[in-house]
Amino acid sequence: MTRGHQGTHIKVVKDPAAPRIELLDYDQLFASRALPRAAYVFTDLDRLAPWDLELAAAVYRDLAAAGLPVLNDPARAKTRFALLRALYQAGVNEFNAYRLDEGVRPARYPVFLRRGAGHGHPASGLLQDWDAAQREVASALASGIPESSLLLIEYAAEPACPGVFRKLALSRIGPRYLPQVCVHDSHWLVKYGKIGIATPELYDDERRILRENPFAEPVRRAFEIAGIEYGRADFGLVGGRVQIYEINTNPTLKPGPPHPSAQRAENLRLAWTQHVAAFRELDPGPLPGEPVALQGPRLRKHQGLLGRLVRSRETP
């Protein structure tokens, strides 16, 4: 993962039921001459610059050639814009996304402005027409956000019940597809949620989702299109149809805080138990043989320039 973003996995690393997990940032990875035999997962791909993605892809290939289990090929995994466009073209999503430097007007409104990388809030609220979008873009550029990093994304959401929006999620850990607990909010932008806003019926339905995994097939297809084998897909239901918002390759993993709803607390426990079990299944156990030498010429050239280059900087 990128330097500064190891906190996402601290809880699972410390869980006594989890296998041994070590966290390595890309600066450490790119300085390595050899790596121990283990299962490897490449995360945080949207936070890497193109040259760092090439270095990570070279390491991925050395590990895969040695026969090790390795997830998320940095050369093939799609990040936000490429994923949203591919999902729209494949008919998985009904909404599209546009790079500003494409010079293409959205086909439908409202839209909102968002950076192409990172996991912060959108750069605008909902924009109802092209004139409003142009004004917001001009404001973003004036504030110093590069045009090449901005997207316009068509709005696709609806309340789960009056006054409550719901974000669903499903994680992939290798061959396992695991439904996660939902996030509920009074605003269309559902990120952290609000305690007390969800009804008991929503928590009961959440329990059903955790038990039955009813959205596994459309979300599995999205992961396959994305070329991502480890991550969390965030999605909503619009007209009863799954709409994928993003796939986060470095999702925050935690068992969840105490909750006033007994059903919600049980849902959190169940989701966490399933997640830790999937990590145990991913663990190959002790693998015989010498550490894997990293042979890629691009990586070796980079290592010769260490101290003169700054890579994998901490990003939002």
pLDDT digits (tens, 9 = 90+) for 154-192: 999 999 999 999 999 999 999 999 999 999 999 998 988
CA–CA dist 177, 171 (Å, integer): 6
Q: What is the pTM of this model?
A: 0.92
Domain range annotation of the chain: 96-154, 165-282
Q: Does domain 96-154 have CATH number 3.30.1490?
A: yes
Backbone angles phi, psi at 185, to 5 degrees: -155, 165
Record the tokens describing residue 16, joined without a space.
Answer: 């006594």
CA–CA dist 288, 273 (Å, integer): 30
Identical fold for domains 96-154 and 165-282, yes or no, is no
The CATH code that applies to domain 165-282 is: 3.30.470
316 residues of the chain, pLDDT tens digit each: 998 888 999 999 999 999 999 999 999 999 999 999 999 999 999 999 888 999 999 999 999 999 999 999 999 999 999 999 999 999 999 999 999 988 899 999 999 999 988 777 888 999 999 999 999 999 999 999 999 889 999 999 999 999 999 999 999 999 999 999 999 999 998 988 888 899 999 999 999 999 999 999 999 999 999 999 999 999 999 999 999 999 999 999 988 778 888 999 999 999 999 999 999 999 999 999 999 999 888 888 887 776 555 555 555 5
CB atoms within 10 A of CB 69: 17
